[in-house]
Structure 1
Amino acid sequence: MILSEIWVYPVKSLGGIRLAEAKTEERGLQYDRRWMIIDENDVFITQRVFTKMALIDVELLSDGLRISYRPEPKNPVIVPYKPVSSKPVTVTVWDDVVEAVTVCEEADAWLSSTLNQNLRLVMMPDSSFRKADTKYAKHEENVSFADAFPYLIISQASLDDLNSRLAEPISMRRFRPNFVVTGTEAFAEDQWKNVMIGDLNFEIVKPCARCVLTTINPETAEKGSEPLKTLASYRRVNNKVMFGQNMVVKDIGTIKEGDQLVVY
């Protein structure tokens, strides 16, 4: 079994970035969902409501994030890794209240103009802590601005199985995993408890329940009924649709495409 893809999503609900290698951290891969967009009430926003966010791409540069709107690629904004405005703000992401800091007024203005809302970009500093659900994460692990857990793994065979049932195949981008694995049976990851990728150890904590965000085409920002409609016909557990597995990390280090995955 081989780690075939590594993905990070620096700004929650904006475009993902495929990497050849990445550093693991307790709250997720380095840069993964450390930034988030909030509204006037300091509450996070996502593609679930603002589908246009699917058309905003993010790149990792040496001096910061390059954020661009695909229909207007010549008008990007550069977001420095170290916040400039750096004003403390208490933000809400799902049921959690988290301490964050503002980043820069240029990014706020760019996002507000692009999405036609009064918005701000915030960053999670290292001094801020957000606990993963202790019902599943047994060691009080912290998580970034990700929905629930630091890591998400999906096998390519699971997507292939799903696509064999769809009228039009979809890409793995719909599911926003951190890790994609090849060389498995479909949904083999459902049975895993502990895995080693390269020389780093991870613990599977729970299946990932999927939401309407998976029905938004990342290429066009159009919303449909698939793949949730089809997944619900054979991947429903306790009225939730499951696809992929949430994980926590046990080791800090570097992970690379092509690393071998071992289940134990």
Structure 2
Amino acid sequence: MTLPPFADVRAQIDQLWIYPVKSCAGIALSEVELTPTGLRWDRHWMVVDSEGGFVTQRELPRMALIQPVFIEGGFELHAPGMAPLTLLFEAAGPALVVTVWGETVSALDMGDAAAQWFSDCLGGDAPNELTRLRLVRFDPGARRVCSPKWTRGHEAWTQFADGFGLLVSSTASLVELNARLAQGGYPPVAMSRFRPNIVLAGIEAHDEDRIGPWRVATDEGDAVLDNVKPCARCPIPNIDPLTARASSEVSDTLQTYRQDRRLGGAVTFGMNAIALEGLGQVLRVGQPVVADWRFD
């Protein structure tokens, strides 16, 4: 497709990521389908405690070391000292109710073998209440609605992501952060710290904060996405995804220049986004993007 010749911003997709199990490691892809809830298979599974509450790297940093790998019909999960665990795309189990940020969500239990795998992998350093973990799959028949406060009148859905189906950042934003880290005597960090779905190249640092709906030229037509809410950052970017060790220099550095008045001064990096058009189309690394500035 040919994008409009006149636009304030011209960029391209530089990286695409999915995180099949919420808070575990991600997979970098060259192409992926855009679905009503975000990118295909993103945050489709989640680890919960014995009460059904979601568990992340905030409580169990070793989740960063669990790496999904595509196999025929699903994924394999790999972790240090553990035999691989197979997750099939269409696996089904008993229905149960779980909670994500205070929302109750219908899910499907992935069985005792998966529960034991996660409990063995993550339970050694966990408080007692986190030693009985279970893995759940998002119920395909459920709907989890994104906050209408931010979606500008558009109805949007997500699965087990924190609140929105897509997270967008830019290579320039990471370059700026790493320059500031270097000034403080700290080593650079990778984009994987911030767990985005889409990384844009060809724009200035944090331009993703202020563009309006942006259009991607796909082989099937144009897809339109909208960056609707700044992403407030918890301590997870302080966790090194290669070692699961935490130190505070990332949060400390962001605190010096990324306090966002739209969220009451919270530290932000990247933008939550929703899909407006192009569901079912395939996003690919290298596809061109255009947008105009947002002034509202």
The TM tier, using the shorter chain, reads over 0.9
2:142 to 110, 120, 128: 128
> Which deviations, in whole Å up to 9, do the C-alpha atoms of 1:33-59 show, x marking residues without a partner?
010011100111000010111111111
Look up the SS of the partner of 1:194 in the other structure: strand
**What's 1:247 paired with?**
273
Residue 24 of structure 2 is aligned to residue 5 of structure 1: no
Quote the offset at 1:181 in angstroms.
Answer: 1.0
Asked if structure 2 preserves the Cα contact closer than 8 Å seen for 1:38 and 1:121, the reply is yes
Alignment of 1:113-192 (within 5 A): 113-116=120-123, 117-137=131-151, 138-166=153-181, 167-192=186-211
Q: Distance in 1 between matches of 2:216 and 2:255?
A: 30
1:147 and 1:226 map into 2 onto residues whose CA distance is 23
Percentage of identical aligned residues: 37
Secondary structure of residue in 2 paired with 1:72: coil
> What runs of 5+ residues in structure 1 fail to find an aligned partner?
none
Offset at residue 162 of structure 1 (A): 0.6
Q: Distance in 2 between matches of 1:197 and 1:36?
A: 30
C-alpha distance in structure 2 between counterparts of 1:185 and 1:194, whole Å = 17
Distance 1:144 1:49 in 2: 21
Distance 1:122 1:257 in 2: 30
Tell me the TM-score normalised to structure 1 length.
Answer: 0.96
Following the alignment from structure 1 to structure 2, what is the Cα–Cα distance between the partners of residues 126 and 139? 21
DSSP-derived class of the 2:105 partner: strand
Q: Partner residue of 1:76? A: 84
Matched, 1:210 2:233: yes
Deviations 1:21-80 (CA, angstroms, capped at 9, x unpaired) = 0001111100000100111001110000101111111112222110110x226x111011
CA contact (8 A) 2:258 2:268 kept: yes
Q: CA offset at residue 104 of structure 1?
A: 3.1
CA distance in 2, matches of 1:134, 1:110: 37
How far, CA to CA, are the matches of 1:26 and 1:63 in structure 2? 21
**In structure 1, C-alpha distance between the alignment counterparts of 2:113 and 2:242, rounded to whole Å:** 26
| Equivalence for 1:62 | 72
Residue 191 of structure 1 and its aligned partner are, at CA, apart by 1.2
Does residue 27 of the first structure (1) align with residue 27 of the second (2)?
no
Conserved in 2, the CA contact under 8 Å of 1:79 and 1:104?
no
1:109 to 116, 124, 147: 116
TM-score where L is the length of structure 2: 0.86
Q: How many residues align?
A: 261
CA contact (8 A) 1:83 1:102 kept: no
- Over the aligned positions, Cα root-mean-square deviation in angstroms equals 1.1
Are 2:256 and 1:233 aligned? yes
Distance 1:124 1:19 in 2: 22
Tell me, yes or no, if the aligned pair for 2:85 and 2:114 is still in contact at 8 Å.
Answer: yes
Separation in structure 2 between the aligned mates of residue 83 and residue 33 of structure 1, nearest angstrom: 15
Q: Which of these two proteins has the greater Rg computed from alpha carbons?
A: 2
**8 A contact 2:144–2:157 mirrored in 1:** yes
